[in-house]
Every structure is written in C-alpha cells, then in structure tokens.
C-alpha cells in the first residue's frame, strides 16, 4: 500500500529550541526532525530519503546537500540528542573544586537527555535494526556517546587535577557513573513501554553519593 503524503513535521524531542538554532541552517533541522518522525513511523530500513525530504518540506537535493547517506542523518540525530552540536547545550563543565555540585549537574543533564519518549523510541528502533544495519551502532557511538563521554572524562580529570577526586581509570569511572543513572531511568523502558518513571533526581543524587564514596579524596 502506498504511503499517505507526509506532512511537514513539527520539532520533536531531542531537537534544540528555536532560540538555539540561530546560526544553523533551518532546513537541516527540518530534515532531522523529519528523519526522527520517519524512523519512528517506518523503522530505519523503510525510511527513505525521499520520504524524509517530503516530510521536511524540502527537495531530495537539499537533503543530499547536508547528508551523504541515511546513516549520516541518523548520526546527526544522535549528535543532537546527546548535545554534541554547538547550537545546543553541552554537558555542564563546572569549575573544578566541588565535585558533588558538578556531578549533580552532569547527572541531571544525562537523565534529561535520555528522558524524552522519542529518544527512547529511537533507541528501540536502533536495537531492533542494528543486526542488519551495524552502521547504526557506529553512528550512535561516534556521533552521540563518544563525544559525550569525552567531555565527561575531561571534567573528571579536571577534578582529579584539583585534588578533589582520585580516579585510577577515568573511562571506567565515567561509565560507572552514567550506568548508575541509565540502568534505572532509561534501560528498563527499552523493555516496558508504559513503565512508571523513576525519580530521576533521587537516582542522580544516589549515583553521586556512591561515586564520591569510591573516588573522593575527602572521604
């Protein structure tokens, strides 16, 4: 059955607010918004560049002006979700010296990053289709998770340099910290769609307490 004509797509979860889009081509944002809608409606395999262009209200040539392939679009969506584009917020980088305050800010940002329903739905799409399209996993890591982790590593090293934390293995410590948050607030929702939301603030506070018990020089 032929698809109904796609309508232009309003901004979706993970998209930067209009005030933060200044200086970035609006058509690129429209393409990303449309791609999210197409991925969620039809899955990655069946989302076509032509359908994305139609939903965005642009030509296919405009899509190719910004992206070489569908995988590039998915990578750009993941970059936007994780705040890796300059037009959106970045992971908070507090001045080192108060790791509790810094980690609370980072933990809240991370929980909020993974909270939108569309973000969770995109991860479900990726998990279902990555065996056939391994580029999805690569794009998620390279465009989304790796830059996010690099910023967190830099913050943790700055605290260690300030003498507030003692961390033998920064990459491991970063994953331990984020894991304490996403294992409660995010991953359970990959299996149970209507699961009640955890208290993200309490989860983040507990993760910070646990992290500091292991790595703070003041303990």
Q: Which two tokens stand for residue 63?
A: 């899509």
Q: pLDDT tens for residues 95-146?
A: 899 999 999 999 998 999 889 888 888 888 888 888 988 888 888 888 778 8
Predicted pLDDT of residue 173? 97
Domains of the chain plus CATH, in order, are 23-67 (1.10.10.60), 99-215 (1.10.357.10)
User: Which residue has better confidence, 179 or 24?
Assistant: 179
Residue 85 scores a pLDDT above 70: no
Predicted pLDDT of residue 86? 54
Predicted pLDDT of residue 13? 45
User: Which residue has better confidence, 20 or 144?
Assistant: 144
Residue 83 scores a pLDDT above 80: no
pLDDT interval class at 5 (50, 70, 90): very low
HSE-CB at 124 with a 13 A cutoff on CA atoms is 17
Which residues is 165 bridged to in the sheet? 216
CA distance 151 to 167: 16
Dihedral angle at the C-alpha atoms of 146, 152, 158, 160, nearest 10 degrees? -100
Q: What is the DSSP string of 174-198?
A: HHHHHHHHHHHHTTHHHH-TTPPPP
User: Which residue has better confidence, 13 or 219?
Assistant: 219
Q: pLDDT tens for residues 152-199?
A: 999 999 999 999 999 999 999 999 999 999 999 999 998 887 889 999
The region, left, alpha or beta by phi > 0 then psi within -120 to 50, assigned to residue 14 is left
CA distance 219 to 207: 16
**What's the DSSP call for residue 165?**
B
Predicted pLDDT of residue 16? 47
Predicted pLDDT of residue 36? 92
End-to-end C-alpha distance for the chain, whole angstroms? 64
pLDDT interval class at 58 (50, 70, 90): very high
Q: pLDDT tens for residues 209-218?
A: 999 999 999 9
Question: Within a 10 A sphere around the Cβ of 23, how many other Cβ atoms?
Answer: 7
Stretch 67-94: mean pLDDT: 76
pTM, two decimals, is: 0.76
């Amino acid at each position: 059955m032929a698809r109904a004509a796609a309508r232009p797509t309003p901004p979706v979860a993970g998209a930067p607010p209009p005030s933060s889009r200044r200086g970035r081509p609006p058509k690129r944002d429209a393409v990303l918004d449309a791609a999210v809608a197409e991925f969620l409606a039809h899955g990655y395999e069946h989302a076509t560049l032509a359908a994305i262009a139609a939903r965005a209200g642009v030509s296919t040539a405009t899509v190719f002006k910004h992206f070489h392939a569908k995988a590039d679009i998915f990578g750009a969506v993941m970059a936007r979700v994780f705040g890796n584009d300059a037009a959106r917020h970045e992971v908070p980088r507090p001045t080192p010296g108060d790791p509790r305050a810094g980690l609370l800010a980072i933990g809240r940002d991370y929980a909020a990053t993974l909270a939108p329903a569309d973000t969770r739905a995109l991860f479900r799409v990726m998990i279902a289709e990555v065996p056939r399209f391994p580029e999805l996993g690569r794009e998620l890591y390279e465009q989304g998770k790796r830059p996010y982790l690099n910023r967190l590593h830099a913050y943790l090293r700055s605290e260690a340099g300030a003498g507030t934390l003692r961390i033998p293995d920064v990459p491991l410590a970063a994953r331990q910290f984020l894991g304490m948050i996403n294992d409660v607030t995010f991953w359970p929702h990959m299996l149970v769609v209507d699961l009640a939301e955890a208290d993200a603030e309490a989860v983040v506070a507990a993760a910070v307490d646990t992290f500091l018990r292991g790595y703070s020089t003041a303990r």
